[in-house]
Amino acid sequence: MPELSSDITEADLVSWLVKPGDHVEAGDLIAELETEKSTIEFESQASGTLVEILVPEGTSGVEVGTVLALFEPDAGTPSIREPEPEEAPTPTREPRSEVRATALARRAAEQAGVDLDAVAGSGQGGRIVKADIQAASAQTATAASAPHPVDSGTPRTSLPLSRMRRTIAARLTQAKQTIPHFYLSVECEIDRLLAMRDRFNAEDRHISVNDFVVRAAALALVEVPDANVSWTEDALIRYERADVAVAVATEGGLITPVVREADRKELVTLSLEVRDLAARAREGKLHPREYQGGSLTVSNLGMHGIHSVYPILNPPQSCILGVGAGRQQPVVRNGELAVGTVMNCTLSADHRALDGVVGARLLAAVKQSLEDPRRMLL
């Protein structure tokens, strides 16, 4: 099992694309792996013949470093691994218990005192994974300290929690409980922005309001570098470029693909990249490196008619920008009453990494670009 990224220690082996006896070339796709947020195609690292599959498809929670199969390289091809015959790796046998669970899940259950027979598995084929044990342990602790509601007999359906849903729940709970959030809001008049968008679209260069927001956020990070940071216990990490994540709703939950160096990309290029990332996010085809990192996240619910958004931080980022819908309302321009299109932007920030005045400067820079979109043209 390859190391997919520094913070992913296991993945599900969804399917094998080859069978024992098949000959493959270096770079051929041989298996599909699934993490909590994406499905990843696994390529052969050398040319040769697949001898034996050790980890069957449908296995959940396969740890990084686990031997998945035996492979015989072609003659003259450097071997990936050449163990002595008597040391050839063998598949790990399932414990005698009839309950299907990963080794990590069994260890976690033993440590937490959780009965595997009472846990519903969310992995492939109903296999119990470590996240199931953590959820069961947390549910037991909550149930022990909270009063039980009276069952009204209302019809209901229990929906199994996916690996992605559990991961989102764990990360956001940790973020809300351990990061001191503060919030700043500003109203932006976007009539000139809408006029510019209409001109782009008339030229068949389709730009969305969200594309303008992503670009404005990137330029603001460059203008206010004190906000382009992440908190660690040992140091404050300042980033040298403006990588902006975009929150995308998928069937399984929220995912945040990252537009790298968004400050250096013209609007049309940025728009095409955002659309490509969003489409592949909904299909579960992002590589982990495409949704990890980033300086700031843009979370836009304006298309749903929401006026204000107060989002939870996406660690290790220190800022997330919530964007509402543009709506017409009375505004004062040069001392006279007029009708303008106003959009609310709310910044959630980590108070450990930046103070209110830095957040205010960042939000002011975003507002300036949105109200004068010519600043966003290269």
CATH of the domain at 24: 2.40.50.100
Cα 253 to Cα 102: distance, rounded to the nearest angstrom: 24
Residue 121 and residue 76 share a domain? no
> What is the SS3 assignment for 32?
strand
Query: pLDDT of 33-43, one tens digit each?
Result: 887 667 787 88
Q: Could you give the percent of the chain with pLDDT greater than 90?
A: 50
Domain end marker among 65, 80, 95:
80
341 in a structural domain = yes
170 in a structural domain = no
Output the CA–CA distances (angstroms, integers) from residue 25 to 29, 33, 47, 54, 70, in the order listed. Answer: 9, 19, 4, 20, 15
147 in a structural domain = no
Residue 278 and residue 242 share a domain? yes
Query: pLDDT of 217-242, one tens digit each?
Result: 999 999 999 999 999 999 999 999 99
Cα 151 to Cα 129: distance, rounded to the nearest angstrom: 30
Contacts of 41 (CB under 8 A, 6+ apart): 29, 31, 32, 33
More confident residue, 188 or 46: 188
- For the question of whether the overall pTM of this predicted structure is more than 0.75, the answer is no
Cα 6 to Cα 27: distance, rounded to the nearest angstrom: 23
Which ranges of 146-186 does DSSP label H, i.e. alpha helix? 163-178
Residue 353 and residue 296 share a domain? yes
152 in a structural domain = no
Residue 113 and residue 43 share a domain? no
More confident residue, 186 or 17: 186
Burial-class residue 262 by CB neighbours within 10 Å (0-12, 13-18, 19+): buried
Phi, psi of 39 (to 5 degrees): -105, 130
Domain span at 120: 103-141
Cα 90 to Cα 107: distance, rounded to the nearest angstrom: 21
Q: Are 230 and 251 in contact (CB under 8 A)?
A: no
Residue 193 and residue 71 share a domain? no
Helices and strands per DSSP (H, E), number in the chain = 8, 18
Cα dihedral 304/309/314/317 (nearest 10): 120
Residue 309 and residue 246 share a domain? yes
Cα 205 to Cα 195: distance, rounded to the nearest angstrom: 14
Residue 111 and residue 62 share a domain? no
How many CB atoms within 10 Å of residue 322?
Answer: 24
Residue 64 and residue 209 share a domain? no
Contacts of 269 (CB under 8 A, 6+ apart): none
Residue 320 and residue 193 share a domain? yes
Which whole number is the average pLDDT over 88-99? 42
How many CB atoms within 10 Å of residue 66?
Answer: 18
Residue 119 and residue 70 share a domain? no
Domain end marker among 31, 47, 80:
80
Contacts of 369 (CB under 8 A, 6+ apart): 212, 215, 216, 219, 220, 375, 376
Cα 238 to Cα 229: distance, rounded to the nearest angstrom: 4
The count of domains in the chain is: 3
Domain end marker among 122, 141, 160:
141
Q: Is the pLDDT of residue 91 over 80?
A: no
Q: Are 356 and 184 in contact (CB under 8 A)?
A: yes
> What is the SS3 assignment for 249?
strand
Residue 193 and residue 62 share a domain? no
User: Is 351 part of the annotated catalytic residue set?
Assistant: yes
Burial-class residue 18 by CB neighbours within 10 Å (0-12, 13-18, 19+): middle
88 in a structural domain = no
116 in a structural domain = yes
- Identify the CATH number of the domain in which residue 215 sits: 3.30.559.10
- Identify the CATH number of the domain in which residue 135 sits: 4.10.320
Contacts of 326 (CB under 8 A, 6+ apart): 190, 194, 209, 302, 341, 342, 343
Nearest in space to 255 (alpha carbons), one of 38, 41, 39, 40: 38
- pLDDT at res. 75: 78
Cα 288 to Cα 280: distance, rounded to the nearest angstrom: 12
- pLDDT at res. 145: 55
Give yes or no for a cis peptide into 73 (omega within 30° of 0).
no
Average pLDDT, the chain: 85
E strand or H helix at 63: strand 59-63
252 in a structural domain = yes
Query: pLDDT of 261-300, one tens digit each?
Result: 999 999 999 999 999 999 999 998 888 889 988 999 999 9
Residue 185 and residue 125 share a domain? no
156 in a structural domain = no
